[in-house]
Structure 1
């Protein structure tokens, strides 16, 4: 269950390159989110994302990864993760997860956002889908704030689990089969970053550690299956899902969200955390 691989610790200069990769990724996700609208195909959203990477001199760490054929995962509604962009036409009320990554000078970033097309106020989106996305987004920031002070990686999952389980309203399930991960000179590295309580502390947090923190929540049962394309993961009961993710680092000066332009300052302020760029 737990990886025994060693955890890669980055130098300040390496984290700064990861920060550049994260800034490119943030811009590409901004463009992809802006492009996602009713009547647009998921392939068109992928093309917009890819264009930003190319314009900024970055490459995709998704394209070709174990044969994956696109630069983003575009997962719609009951598709939790790893959806392949294609000719599917997005519609009002859809819940789209856009997950992508960028590589600059060999260093990786990874980030994901959920987009609910339409709005409950206009009657074009389910308010429970908006609630699902918002709780998932907040859970990610709770996990990031926990990492800022954590002594062990397991404290991230403890914080996320406590937050999600304490939300009023219909309970949401935390996916257990797919978790966050270490990141750096590769996209997926040790350690595993669980989004729920495991009863284990996990590796000790040390300066130079970088994690992709990515809670995935569902409206219903957490059982999933993989479609015949051998990539797309869907909920067994058809419940809708949300995913939010950021690449985050700890260094001698503190914490910085590498895939957020402001390092996470605006969101972390409500948690009492002041992010510090690597090297400061």
Structure 2
């Protein structure tokens, strides 16, 4: 409906390999608070992506995401996270959306995983509806999510699910 924000999470398979991406869309005349939440959630995704490089730690990604969310007054859902991806949809490692810089396993060239923070206006707590699929905030406030599949390269990161409208963002993500 007019004024809603909605997330589409899409999985693709090509030649036996899987990619995963999601984006929060704004429908019609969206209130400023909802537009801001979506903007900050997208920025948080890029803050996490900017930390991807060989030798960095997985905790660096989560720390960047959570730091950006908190700085802007939002919470980060902890029940869902990014994940390794390849021939299977969900592989190790888990890519948390919170953490401490320098913690967790080190990234190495060739790793492929998703970064997918979910930010909430209020509490970080969520619940799953009876359909077993729909996730909602427990306080009824808005949530926004973005996701990309990334590969660790010798020199940093390649965003495998980069959308045309985001090419400029990659250059300024840090």
Q: Indicate whether 1:106 and 2:26 are aligned.
A: no
Higher strand share: 2
CA offset digits 1:247-268 (Å, max 9, x no partner): 0001234321000156x64112
SS of the aligned residue for 1:191 comes to: strand
Counterpart residue number, 1:162: 67
Q: Which is further off, 107-116 or 142-151?
A: 142-151
1:234 and 1:261 mapped to 2: Cα distance? Answer: 27
2:161 to 259, 262, 266: 259
Structure 1's unaligned 5+ residue stretches are 1-90, 119-123, 273-280
Larger Rg: 1
2:156 and 2:81 mapped to 1: Cα distance? Answer: 24
Q: Indicate whether 1:117 and 2:117 are aligned.
A: no
Q: Per-residue deviation at 1:210?
A: 0.7
2:70 and 2:138 mapped to 1: Cα distance? Answer: 21
CA offset digits 1:54-79 (Å, max 9, x no partner): xxxxxxxxxxxxxxxxxxxxxxxxxx
2:44 and 2:22 mapped to 1: Cα distance? Answer: 13
Q: Per-residue deviation at 1:218?
A: 0.8
Counterpart residue number, 1:142: 47
Counterpart residue number, 2:79: 177
Structure 1 length normalisation: TM-score? 0.58
Structure 2 length normalisation: TM-score? 0.92
Contact 1:150/1:156 (<8 A) preserved: no
Structure 2's unaligned 5+ residue stretches are none
CA RMSD between the two structures? 1.8
2:171 and 2:41 mapped to 1: Cα distance? Answer: 18
CA offset digits 1:219-259 (Å, max 9, x no partner): 11111111111111111111111010000001234321000
2:17 and 2:8 mapped to 1: Cα distance? Answer: 21
Q: Indicate whether 1:133 and 2:43 are aligned.
A: no
